[in-house]
Structure 1
Amino acid sequence: MRKPIHSADPLLRLQASITARDDQLLDWLYDHGVLTTDQIATALFPSLDFTQRRLRRLTLLRAVDRFRPNRAYGGSYPYHYVLDQLGYDHVHAQRGLGRPRRDQARRRKHSLTRRPDLPHLLGGNQVFTDLAAHARTHPDTELTRWQPASTYHEPGTLYRKGGDPQIITAGATGFPRPDGAGVWTEHGRSVPFFLEYDTSGEHLRVLIDKIAKYERLYVMSTWAWPVLFHLPSARREANLHHRLAGIDLRAVIATTTAELRTALDVSPADQVWQLAAHGGRHRLIDLPYTDTDHDDEFSTHTAPDQDGRAA
């Protein structure tokens, strides 16, 4: 006799109900921890109402869970979504990782709700969800890859064949730990990049120290990606460029600001990136990089210029 639907295995019930868009969301929450309702809506869905209905369904299926932090001066923030335990079960099954810990969702949610730098994490995630939103409404563009900060926490992950072995042996403190990394594609071209998301909570010299680490990586390695510094204000950006003036940087450092993007209502894909020691603004896809591994994988690079960098 056929079992009634309510007695079916919860994971099978979830997998029977899930869509490709749900799969993308669960993958993002697994890799990047937390996203708000608005971030999910702009990146994946046609409307906020549609998003809220789908998130309610995924919550009932125990694929996702949510929390709502309180504001310091009253009220609360929008819902923040994380994976529930069945969401972990689903992602692990899809990735062939074996069963997760039975309390994995509870432990992760507990960590995120008490994370002091949660606004920083959400801000970095916002840059990537803005790129995904741009791709959703612009044909022939794609956020081809989005990697979390943890991908590059160990210096060995920054090593490529032909580079200085000290990248592996020198320890993590002398090398950058980006807030995320990605690959952006437009019309058959792609560019890899690192992201540094700044809330202005740190002294400017901390940003200079980060840039020095990227410069060190440039000198010791065989590849170089543009490093995107997303800053809160024009004043912060001007001060950073002033501090960098006169330094012969070889690493590709590009900056933009939340103020500029808000005023122009543009995405990180647009012409908002200012290269250190250069005037004008550039589109993300036009930023230079050096990486033969990337070119071999994506086969979307343009011809290199005289310095060996993609044009």
Structure 2
Amino acid sequence: MSKVKYYYDSETLSYRKIEKKKGRKLGIFVLSLLGMLLSGFLLLVVYLNLPGVETPREKAMKRELANMELQYTLLNRKMDQAESVLNDLAERDNSLYRVYFEANPIPEEQRKAGFGGINRYKDLEGFNNSNLIVNAHKRLDILTKQIVVQSKSLDEIAQLAEEKEKLLAAIPAIQPVNNEDLTRMASGFGFRTDPFTKALKKHWGMDFTAPRGTPVYASGDGKVTRADNTASGYGNHIRIDHGYGYESLYAHLYKFNVRNGQKVKRGDLIGFVGSTGRSEAPHLHYEVFKDGDRINPINFYYGNLSPKEFAELLKTSQQENQSLD
């Protein structure tokens, strides 16, 4: 049952029914709605401007940003470690490896050169943390380039080491006749008395006296270029080309154990001591050539002589006695 409201009319001295005006409810509703909207807007403004108050989305974004900064910090630390290791390797490469193998050191500016020309990091610019991201990319790119330079350098060192190993194997580095097989070291490199003319003459090799048939060994790796008796004075002789400008000659042999064109290794049996050609007694005449010039073989016996044996051989080779050829 709806309530009917009245009011007292003093003019007529009677009660009159209060009539509801049309649109009143609508006006009240509109005013209420506006009030709520205004109150909500004011509360939102206050909420957004209060210090320390964050929305859930802001909190999530801040967590993501903090995690990203942490990851970039860890990445920079790893790059610091990688740069330190690479710098140590570059130092050893320049001051040790490349010096040992007689290669020019790689300049520092070549190892750590940047990237010129176009801006490689344009797509990373324009953000709040662009500097952090761009710097990380730059360091990583430079580090990658340093690794490539160092890798190529190590490839070169490996190739030089392989060549060095071949060179060391090729150099005539052992005495061609074993010490226990020697009667004596008859004559060394230098001016000696010729056994036939008795005149002082340059002796271009070393004479090792030994019984006929004593084994003769290759003093280094190489290829036999001659095994014949057609050279004047040498009789049966062998020439070995060791490469790198080195050549060795073994003369007055009794017989051969190799043929022309055969590849030999250091220590291989190549022939036997004899007295063929211009020779006074059984012995091996041994010569060493470098770039076509005869050099003193005494400098090439470090491969199978002790320091004491070498000192005795050196002393004997310097005596100005008579050669055997």
Higher-Rg structure is 2
Indicate the structure whose relative CO is greater, using CA pairs within 8 Å and at least 6 residues apart. Answer: 2
Higher strand share: 2
Higher helix share: 1
Normalised to the residue count of structure 1, the TM-score between the two structures is: 0.24
Normalised to the residue count of structure 2, the TM-score between the two structures is: 0.23
